[in-house]
Structure formats: structure tokens, C-alpha cells
Structure 1
Amino acid sequence: MTIYLEEESEIRLPVDCRKTAEQVVEETLDYEGFPYEAEVEILLTDNESIREMNREQRGIDRPTDVLSFPMIDYEKAGEFDFLEERPDCFHPETGEALLGDIVISKEKVLSQAEEYGHSPLREYAFLIAHSMLHLLGYDHMEEQERVIMEKKQNEILERLGISRSGTAKDETK
């Protein structure tokens, strides 16, 4: 698994961003039974930058908490068998599946953690799990899809031991 993590802006999260990203990405892939090694790019930025991307990509002129840019089109979310027939979905040198990009607003992580009454760790991990599910073909445009995604997100965080209080089982490691 390769995670390219880049940070923009002077804002700092009170979280080990790389370690948490690695744990959540790996747990999501395991949870979904993704059968390949994978590559994901994560950009941590500020509200103004994500607002600009949101405007350019989605036509919505406001900051958002997370944007997902999947590199693979799935016929059905969570079904990966077709990838064997799609060498273009893999990095030619590493053989890793190119899942896509995640962009997270650090300002939104902090403000939403406060708004929802949990820690920045929990909010950051939640946004990565949410976005990873998008990179694996899930969506939440319909009510049934939303319910499925919410259940999966919560189960992934539970498996990691990340609670609403934001503590993790292995925080002392």
C-alpha cells in the first residue's frame, strides 16, 4: 500500500496524520476485501483551496470537508473482479491499484469535530473512511446508499477502536 500524503497551509491537526491515514486506508481495504495492493493520494488543505476545487469540479462555490476523486469506475460498489481485466487501473511499475485522490480541509476537520462533539482524530479518520468508500465505488445520493455507507463507515471506525470520543484502542503505541 502506498499513500502519498501532502499538506498545504499552516494549519496543523492534533493528530498523527500519516499514521491515521495509513490505518484507516488499510482497514477500509481489509473491511471491503479489496484483493490488491493500492495507491491513494491524500491532500490536506484549507477551506479556501478546497472551496476552489469544489467550485471547479462540482460547480459548488463553498468549502466542503472532503472531496473524493476515484480513478476507477465500478459497475457495482465493492465488487472488484473486473479489475483483473483492466491493467489500466494499476500502476505499471508497482502493480498497485490506482484508487484515486482524497482532499480534506483541515479547517473543516477542526470545526466539525467541535460541532459534532468529538475529537479531531475521529473526524479525520471518519473523512478518510468516507472518502475511501467513494474510491471503492460507493455513493450516498440515494437514501439506501447513504444508509449502507454510514454503516460501513461506523464499522470501519469501530474496528479501529476510534470512538466518538476520539480515542483509539492503541493510542499509546
Structure 2
Amino acid sequence: MSLSVVWNNEQDEHEINGDLIELLERILQTAGEAEGIDTGEVDLTFVNNERIHELNLEYRGIDRPTDVLSFAMNEAGEDELEIIYDLADEDEELEEVPNVLGDIIISVTRAQEQAVEYGHSLERELGFLFVHGFLHLLGYDHQEPEAEAEMMSKQEKVLAQVGLIR
């Protein structure tokens, strides 16, 4: 399986260590396998409440911090342009372009608050938010009760498979 996480840390409230990234990579592999996705790249950024508040306002028009934002790259909307690769030299080979599934941005500040609120570890909360964001990248939503139940079930199955139970 060739699913990968490319991550960036833009906050200083919690150390992001190799163990956490390894756990999130396992979550990605498990969720990808469950969804039939075996290749792709997910860009993950850890931020604080101030930054996610700015992004939530800018992109969603919601003037408050949130826990996770997802921006899918493979959505084909009306105004989206098709990307065409042009080779200047016919003998030149095109390097394989990664299938970027999208960006997930997690507020570590909010994740810490929610971990305390729900009575579980920060790792479990970050794992939950990551798989939640990943499912959004694949087109899942939770606006309707049935869709929310389906998404919750998928999230909990993945978390249980990697040992992140409540």
C-alpha cells in the first residue's frame, strides 16, 4: 500500500513525536484499506486554536475555532480546471505525480480540550480527528443522521483496529 502522510507542525503546545506520526500512518493505512484506497498522499498540519480560527473564518465563514478542517484535492467542481501535463521534450519522461488526496488541519489545542472533555488520551483524540478528516477527503459527510452514523461507525472501526478505544 502506498498511502503516506506528509506532516507539518505549526504549533508549540504539544510535541509531535515519531510515535504519534507512526500511529497516524497506521490509522491512514487501516482507513485506506477499509475504503479501498491504496495510493495517495495526505498533507497533515498541526496548528493552534488561533490559526484554525483564522482558517475556519476564511474558508467556511465560521468565526470560531474548530477541531479539524479538511480540504479535498480530488473534487471536481464546476469551476475546477483540469490539470494537463505538457512535456517540452518528447523524449522526456513525466515523473509520477503523487495522488494528493487533500489537506487535513488539526487544532492540537482543541484536541487537548476534547480529550479531557471525553475522558480519553490526546493520541486517541488526534487519531479520531485524523480519520474523521480523511473520510471527509473521500467525500463522506455528516449533515444527515444516517450519514453521520455511517461515518461514526467507520471511524470507530478504524480506531479499534489500531487499539485506540475509549
Q: Would you call these one fold, judging by a TM-score over 0.5?
A: yes
Task: Please state how far the C-alpha of 1:46 moved relative to its aligned partner.
Answer: 0.2
Choose the corresponding residue for 1:32, options 32, 35, 39: 35
Q: Runs (4+) of structure 1 moved beyond 6 Å?
A: none
Q: Which residue of 1 aligns with 2:23?
A: 20
Using structure 1 for the length normalisation, give the TM-score: 0.80
CA distance in 2, matches of 1:114, 1:14: 18
Aligned with 1:157 (options 133, 156, 159): 159
* 2:163 maps to 1:147: no
Instruction: Select 2:71's aligned residue among 59, 66, 69.
Output: 69
**Alpha-carbon distance between aligned partners in 2 of 1:87 and 1:155, rounded to the nearest angstrom:** 35
| Correspondence for 2:53 | 51
Partners of 1:93 and 1:51 in 2: how far apart?
A: 37
CA RMSD of aligned residues (A): 2.1
Instruction: After superposition, give the CA deviation of every residue in 1:138-162 in whole Å (9 maximum; x if it has no partner).
Output: 0111111101000000011111121
Q: TM-score by structure 2 length?
A: 0.83
Structure 1 residue ranges without an equivalent (≥5): 75-85, 165-173
Match for residue 8 of structure 1 among 7, 10, 17: 10
Matched residue count: 150
1:136 corresponds, among 106, 113, 138, to 138
User: Paired residue for 2:114, among 90, 100, 112?
Assistant: 112
Structure 2: how far apart are the matches of 1:146 and 1:107?
A: 24
In structure 2, C-alpha distance between the alignment counterparts of 1:125 and 1:67, rounded to whole Å: 14
Identity in percent: 40
State the one-letter code of the partner of 2:124. Answer: R
